[in-house]
Amino acid sequence: MKRVLVLLLAVGLTAAACGGHKSSAGKKGAVTISNEQGTTWTCGFNPFNSDVNFLSAGTVYEELTFVNGLKSGQTTNWLASSYEWGNANKTLTFTIRKGVKWTDGKPLTAADVLYTFNLIKKYPALDLNASWAVLKSVTQKGDQIVFQFKTPAVPYFYYIADQTPIVPQHVWSKIANPVTYKDSHPIGSGPFKMDRCSPQVIKYTKNGGYWQKGKPTIETIYYPAFTSNDPANQQLASGKAQWGSQFIPNIKSFYLKGNSDNHYWFPPTVNVSVFINQKDPILKDVAVRKAMAYAIDRQKVSEVGEYGYEPASNQTGIVTPTFSSWLDPTLAKQVTYSPAKAIAILKAAGYKQKNGQFYTSDGKPLSFTMINIGGYSDWVASAQLVQEQLKKIGIKVTPENLSSTTYDADNYAGKFQLSYNGNLSGGPAPYYELRQLLYSKNSAPIGQNATTNWERYENPAVDKLIDSYAGTADSAKQHEIVRKLQKVMVDDIPVIPVTEGVDWYQYNTKKLSGWVTEQNPYAQPAAYVYPDWAVVLLNLKPKA
């Protein structure tokens, strides 16, 4: 019996010795991405399928204009060589770049752009950003495409220009049903072509005829599928993968220590907040919400609950330092950690304290449940800290750690009292997150699904402010509107921002240069952000 075991071991060892363990890091001009998506690849690349579009938008299919979310929406002309607003910000005109070719050799023209927008009009399932909710018409004038909006629509520029990938008419017009179209062999205009795909790994190769001369300098991209975090992190630590986009526990000892080529940067983009249900009979009293905002020690939650990776938020809802230029510093300092002040507010509002616990005037305890995602260990730790901090001022919070599906269903339907939540997508300026949070059209009655205003904050004056932003491209006016929205956040406390959610980003500089850094944030650096990841890949250079 022993002999069999020995034999087995021997076979294994020989195979190991002569077999694998080659490293893709050795190949010149190749980059391997390690981004735990919790899924194997379907090998579909349909850019209008929100399940897979991050694999083709940017690299294979391109956008009209690139909008940099880390520089307050700075634009770079891409497939459009210029754009212009007119007619009181109700008309947007793009001039389409000449000399761009699809990878099958046919030229990209304004007709392709027109076709793309008519396609998502015809099939609402493809209209991922609900563009046609605000669009009136799209027409072609020579090499120009003219968008007519129903109302002034400045913030929609981001969705039209940056978030809608342009597809070739000569390919897509032959597809019977673009909604269920897999697009296994995508024909695009981007810097990379999909070379081969299996459920385990996608290989992209350089598009030799790319319109940006001399680019890309990277020859190959390997994008392995990781269903769990640990193997993905090991690939980063071992140097097999050079670009990471995920949470790594103890990053300093696991990733940085002993390797001076490994770096990370986590730029904050959107808040993780306590959403407060505005329709709850007790929580609709602003005094209770304000007391809670004073009672939460955001700094401690950031350091203990989030390993210091996610910085502490402030009550204005402006994510700093990313959007610091929009921040009103006086408002930001208004609500800071002070349990004493929290208790004073509750007492002044007529709540009675008995054995530390606060009660309403008719004897109901201030006791709430807070839903959370049980699978996110950092959120669970953070929610526990919030619970302890609120207990100190006499408000009882019971966290409910749910599966993410149940959690989302409850959020959408408003079936919660408090919700620990960082699931908004934000955008290239603070306006996007504030609009998602505060606009009443994003709300819905309890029991029906709300798109983003899950706390159900409804205020006609705020709606008017949000609408007025859409009508101005003037930066000073936009800043003034956002300042007023910050005041709403501080005065009304619709949600309590606790920490700032970040883009996860780790990179290795041994064989590649040109990475996004804090000093040069030319695009959002997480590999799952599209079309930004293509901009990062276009900037990477193999070291000599």
Partner 1 sequence: MRFVVRRLGFFLVTLWAAVTLNFLIPRLMPGNAAIAMMSRYKGHVNPQAMHALEIAFGVHNHQSLVSSYFTYLGNIARGHFGVSLTFFPDTVAHQVLQALPWTLALVGITTILAFLLGTLIGLVSGWRRGGALDGVLPPLFVITSAFPYFWLALLAIWLFSLKLGWFPESGGYEVTTTVGWNWTFVSDAFTHSILPALTIIVTAIGGWILTMRNNMITVLTEDYVRMARAKGLKPWRIMWTYAGRNAILPNLVGFAMSLGFVVGGAILVEFVFNYPGVGWMFLQSVENQDYALMQALFLMITVTVLLAILAADVATAILDPRTRERG
In angstroms, the CA 378 to CA 231 distance is 19
Of 127 and 306, CB closest to partner 1: 127
Of 179 and 348, CB closest to partner 1: 179
The first and second tokens of residue 101, run together, are 């070719």
Q: How many residues bind partner 1 (CB under 8 A)?
A: 80
CB–CB of 48/121 below 8 Å? no
Of residues 434-453, those binding partner 1 (CB under 8 A) = 436, 449, 451-452
Shortest separation between residue 490's beta carbon and partner 1, angstroms:
24
How far, CA to CA in Å, does 129 sit from each of 3, 137, 503, 543?
Answer: 64, 16, 21, 39
Of 167 and 390, CB closest to partner 1: 167
In angstroms, the CA 334 to CA 491 distance is 10
Site string for partner 1, 383-402 (x = CB under 8 A): --------------------
- The stretch among 70-78, 209-217, 309-317, 403-411 that binds partner 1 (CB under 8 A) is 403-411
CB–CB of 512/482 below 8 Å? no
Tracing tokens 């730790």 back to the chain, one arrives at 381
Of 255 and 294, CB closest to partner 1: 255
Question: With binding defined as CB under 8 A, does residue 250 bind partner 1?
Answer: no
Tracing tokens 């003034």 back to the chain, one arrives at 480
Of residues 204-223, those binding partner 1 (CB under 8 A) = 222
Of 93 and 423, CB closest to partner 1: 423
Shortest separation between residue 231's beta carbon and partner 1, angstroms:
4
Amino acid found at 401: N
Q: Which of 3, 4, 476, 519 binds partner 1 (CB under 8 A)?
A: 4
Shortest separation between residue 343's beta carbon and partner 1, angstroms:
34
In angstroms, the CA 287 to CA 256 distance is 45
Question: With binding defined as CB under 8 A, does residue 27 bind partner 1?
Answer: yes
Site string for partner 1, 109-128 (x = CB under 8 A): ---------------xxxxx
Please calculate the CA angle 103-106-107 and round it to the nearest 5 degrees: 105
Question: With binding defined as CB under 8 A, does residue 3 bind partner 1?
Answer: no
Q: What are the strands of the beta sheet with 418-421, ordered from one edge? A: 396-402, 367-373, 418-421, 268-276, 495-502
Q: Other C-beta atoms within 10 Å of 253: how many?
A: 9
Question: With binding defined as CB under 8 A, does residue 19 bind partner 1?
Answer: yes
Of 180 and 250, CB closest to partner 1: 180
In angstroms, the CA 380 to CA 386 distance is 10
Phi, psi of 12 (to 5 degrees): -60, -45
Q: 43's torsion region: left (phi>0), alpha (psi -120 to 50) or beta?
A: left
Of residues 310-349, those binding partner 1 (CB under 8 A) = none
Site string for partner 1, 168-187 (x = CB under 8 A): -----------xxxx-----
Shortest separation between residue 295's beta carbon and partner 1, angstroms:
26
Which pairs count as long-range contacts for 431-437, CB under 8 Å and 24+ apart, including other chains? 431/155, 431/466, 431/469, 431/478, 431/481, 431/482, 431/485, 432/155, 432/158, 433/270, 433/271, 433/317, 433/319, 434/317, 434/466, 434/482, 434/485, 434/489, 435/155, 435/466, 435/469, 437/317, 437/494, 437/495
Shortest separation between residue 43's beta carbon and partner 1, angstroms:
8
Shortest separation between residue 12's beta carbon and partner 1, angstroms:
5
How far, CA to CA in Å, does 154 sit from each of 81, 134, 136, 377?
Answer: 19, 11, 14, 38
Of 389 and 524, CB closest to partner 1: 524
Shortest separation between residue 477's beta carbon and partner 1, angstroms:
25
In angstroms, the CA 64 to CA 84 distance is 13
Q: Which of 28, 39, 74, 250 binds partner 1 (CB under 8 A)?
A: 39
Shortest separation between residue 6's beta carbon and partner 1, angstroms:
13
Question: With binding defined as CB under 8 A, does residue 84 bind partner 1?
Answer: no
In angstroms, the CA 404 to CA 502 distance is 19
Of 231 and 249, CB closest to partner 1: 231
Shortest separation between residue 249's beta carbon and partner 1, angstroms:
14
- The stretch among 204-212, 229-237, 315-323, 335-343 that binds partner 1 (CB under 8 A) is 229-237
Shortest separation between residue 448's beta carbon and partner 1, angstroms:
13
Question: With binding defined as CB under 8 A, does residue 257 bind partner 1?
Answer: no
In angstroms, the CA 456 to CA 279 distance is 7
Q: Which of 173, 259, 403, 475 binds partner 1 (CB under 8 A)?
A: 403
- The stretch among 109-117, 227-235, 321-329, 359-367 that binds partner 1 (CB under 8 A) is 227-235
Question: With binding defined as CB under 8 A, does residue 57 bind partner 1?
Answer: no
Question: With binding defined as CB under 8 A, does residue 469 bind partner 1?
Answer: no
Q: 258's torsion region: left (phi>0), alpha (psi -120 to 50) or beta?
A: left
CB–CB of 60/188 below 8 Å? yes
Q: Which of 253, 260, 355, 405 binds partner 1 (CB under 8 A)?
A: 405
In angstroms, the CA 231 to CA 37 distance is 12
Of 211 and 505, CB closest to partner 1: 505
Shortest separation between residue 256's beta carbon and partner 1, angstroms:
17
The first and second tokens of residue 323, run together, are 């959007």
